[in-house]
């Protein structure tokens, strides 16, 4: 950000500021709130991008697994039950991938894009703060000149310069106070408006998640019913079945130690 006339550690801070302490604190508070809001908004925008990328990658990877298994000779060597299960799984994943694309579309249109537009407002706010700071510096310079001529010997030339400096100080003060008030009001409006702006995005996001989850439950419910309909054993003790199959494979002569 631009030079901060309020920083107590700033080497360029004048010894006697023309700005009152209450006015200084009010502006410092709003600038801090703006910085915190900007950091949060930028981080959230990046995280939403990561979320949609992860959703798409997961759906793509799952579909790749089912497709690769279907292409293996193992599934087509007189194993109609296994082939039917993999085909059903692949079909379900295709439906799920389409639902994921729909969810990502909702998130991009109602969350990510609005967040990007919101983030794009902050450079304008910082530019307004910079111009306001420049006006304050001019106000301070005029105040320093008045103080300098007040401390000099009261000659005719000094009085003329003092009166001229006072006129410039009055003009600089008026301009600064007007600009400070305008920027302060806009900063307050920007931070206060965040809720009204983002609430529709959050609501759309939640609704999109609900719709996606509902569709996913339906897809996997159909898949479960289809797979169970093709099985004689419905105990679903898969761990026991896996170890029984492994024991049979280990009993083969080619695997014996």
Domain locations in the chain as residue ranges: 19-120+196-257, 123-192
The predicted-structure confidence for 142-196, as pLDDT tens digits, reads as follows 999 998 888 888 888 888 888 898 999 999 999 999 999 999 999 999 999 999 9
- Say whether pLDDT at 63 is over 80: yes
- d(CA 101, CA 158) in angstroms, rounded, equals 76
- Say whether pLDDT at 216 is over 90: yes
* Range from 58-67, 87-96, 167-176, 248-257 carrying the lowest mean pLDDT: 248-257
- Say whether pLDDT at 212 is over 50: yes
**What burial letters (b/e) apply to 62-82, b meaning 16+ CB within 10 Å?**
bbeebeebeeeeebeeeeeee
Instruction: Look at residue 12 in the predicted model and tell me its pLDDT.
Output: 44
Q: With H, G, I as helix, E, B as strand and everything else as coil, classify residue 221.
A: helix
Residue 226's contacts (CB-CB under 8 Å, 6 or more residues apart) are 88
257-to-189, 248, 254 alpha-carbon distances in Å: 77, 14, 8
CA torsion sign for 173, 174, 180, 181 is positive
The predicted-structure confidence for 75-98, as pLDDT tens digits, reads as follows 766 678 888 888 899 999 999 999
- Say whether pLDDT at 18 is over 80: no
């Amino acid at each position: 950000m631009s030079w901060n006339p309020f920083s107590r550690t700033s080497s360029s801070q004048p010894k006697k500021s023309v700005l009152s302490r209450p006015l200084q604190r009010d502006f410092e508070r709003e600038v801090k709130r703006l910085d915190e809001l900007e950091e949060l908004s930028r981080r959230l925008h990046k995280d939403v991008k990561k979320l949609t990328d992860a959703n798409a990658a997961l759906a793509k990877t799952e579909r790749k697994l089912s497709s690769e298994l279907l292409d293996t000779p193992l599934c087509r060597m007189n194993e109609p039950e296994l082939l039917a299960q993999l085909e059903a799984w692949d079909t379900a994943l295709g439906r799920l991938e389409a639902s994921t694309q729909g969810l990502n579309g909702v998130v991009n249109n109602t969350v990510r894009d609005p967040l990007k537009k919101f983030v794009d407002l902050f450079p304008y706010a910082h530019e307004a703060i910079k111009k306001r700071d420049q006006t304050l510096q001019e106000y301070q310079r005029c105040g320093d000149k008045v103080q300098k001529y007040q401390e000099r010997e009261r000659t005719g030339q000094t009085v003329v310069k003092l009166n001229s400096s006072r006129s410039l100080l009055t003009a600089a003060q008026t301009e600064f106070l007007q600009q400070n008030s305008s920027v302060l009001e806009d900063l307050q409006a920007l931070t206060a408006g965040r809720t009204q702006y983002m609430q529709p995005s959050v609501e759309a996001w939640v609704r999109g998640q609900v719709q996606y989850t509902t569709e996913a439950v339906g897809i996997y419910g159909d898949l479960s019913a289809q797979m169970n309909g093709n099985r004689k054993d419905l105990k679903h003790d898969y761990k026991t079945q896996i170890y029984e199959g492994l024991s049979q494979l280990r009993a083969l002569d080619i695997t014996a130690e």
